[in-house]
Amino acid sequence: MQARCWRIYPLYGLILFVAATAFHGDLFRIIEQLVGVVGVSETGDIFAATWSIPIEFQFYLAFPFLTLLLAKYGSRQMLALIGFFLVLRIGLWFAGKDVNHLGYWSIAGRADQFIVGMLSARLYYQDRVKWLGGWGGFVSSICLIAVCTQYFHHIYGADYPWEQQPMLHWFSVVWPDVQAFMFGCLILSFLQLSIKIPTLIERPLLFVGTVSFSLYIMHRMVEHGLALALNWQLVQFTSHQKINALLTCTLVELPLALIVAWVAYYAVEKPFHEFKRDYRTWGDASHKEKTNSQS
């Protein structure tokens, strides 16, 4: 966890301070969000992506306890927890509550996704997911993601518009579990593919992975600024608006976002990486320090 703190907190804390200053937020809420890992700070639209960081740290705090439960009681205990969180969402849905709100602002809404990830990792290391191997499993996973995602957006783009009412459709109850299953299958199938990614593709992907946190934090600012610069219009590459939307995001917004992320990474993130300690050598270092102090 210390490694994640050194990577996340410098840029995260700075952005919370900037957002609170720009949007006249409460500076004390910054401390509350950083220490209490509860999303209470005012971040405005351009830094709204920070909502997920407190949830991420809630998972980090819960992970050791979940690991102990898995080691002591096995997968059945984890499945029981998944069932509990599902029942919790069902109860809220019957009460007419926005179930998705729970998933965005609390670990209780998406804990089952985290648990599915743990179970998937266990199955992989136990070599029990060979049935997902090969291109068939990988392509099927992508198709499943596309179909379910399209259905989800059809529901909330037609029957239940996002801006008009909360997410009360029954599918929102099972959507976290559907997401977990789909992406679990995708990752498990990909890990079993015998492919070598060409260097020409691998290097850009490594770069994106390196600046990924900065990209996540800063992309909304780029998105909002570009929308204002274009007067909320798309760049007219073709006569088809959907194609224009795709090309505007890919050829204009993405490069700008990567440039901003690169600056944020090297200016704020990277210097603090020197303080991270490899968890694989943590025990050895502690043992050496203890030995030196005794001698």
Q: Is the pLDDT of residue 100 over 60?
A: yes
Token couple for 112: 């089952």
Query: In the predicted model, what is the mean pLDDT of residues 37-64?
Result: 80
pLDDT of residue 292: 56
Query: Who has greater pLDDT, 249 or 168?
Result: 249
Query: Between 162 and 17, where is the model more confident?
Result: 17
Which range among 91-100, 122-131, 157-166, 271-280 has the greatest average pLDDT? 122-131
Q: Side-chain half-sphere of 76: how many Cα atoms within 13 Å?
A: 2
In the predicted structure, residue 42 carries a pLDDT above the cut 80: no
Give the pLDDT of residue 248. Answer: 94
| Alpha-carbon gap, residue 208 to 205, rounded angstroms | 5
pLDDT band of residue 176 (cuts 50, 70, 90) is: confident
Can you give the pLDDT at residue 36?
64
User: Is the pLDDT at 73 greater than 90, yes or no?
Assistant: yes
Cα 153 to Cα 175, 243, 246: the distances in Å are 11, 19, 17
d(CA 136, CA 143): 11
Nearest alpha-carbon partner for 40 in 27, 29, 28: 29
Q: What is the pLDDT of residue 279?
A: 61
Q: Please report which confidence band the pLDDT of residue 209 belongs to, taking 50, 70 and 90 as the band edges.
A: very high
Pick from 114-123, 193-202, 277-286: least confident = 277-286
Helices H, strands E: what count in the chain? 14, 0
User: Taking 90 as the threshold, does the pLDDT of residue 184 lie above it?
Assistant: yes
CA distance 77 to 210: 36
Q: What is the pLDDT of residue 78?
A: 94
CB-based contact 195:136 (threshold 8 Å): no
Q: Does residue 283 have a pLDDT over 60? A: no
Residue 140 has pLDDT above 60, yes or no: yes
- 144-153, 158-167, 168-177, 253-262: least confident range: 158-167
Sign of the dihedral defined by the CA atoms of residues 215, 217, 219, 221, in that order: negative
Residues 6+ apart with CB under 8 A from 223: 253, 257
At a CB cut-off of 8 Å and minimum separation 6, what does 279 contact? 3
Q: Over the chain, what is the mean pLDDT?
A: 85
From 79-83, 106-110, 218-222, 277-281, the region with the lowest mean pLDDT: 277-281
pLDDT for residue 284 is more than 70: no
What pLDDT sits at residue 120? 94
Q: How far apart are CA 20 and CA 13, in angstroms?
A: 11
How far, in Å, CA of 62 to CA of 178, rounded? 22
Q: Which residue, among 286, 265, 235, has the nearest Cα to 10 in the 3D structure?
A: 265
DSSP class of 209 = H
Work out the average pLDDT over 39-51.
76
- Cα–Cα distance, 169 to 230 (Å, whole number): 35
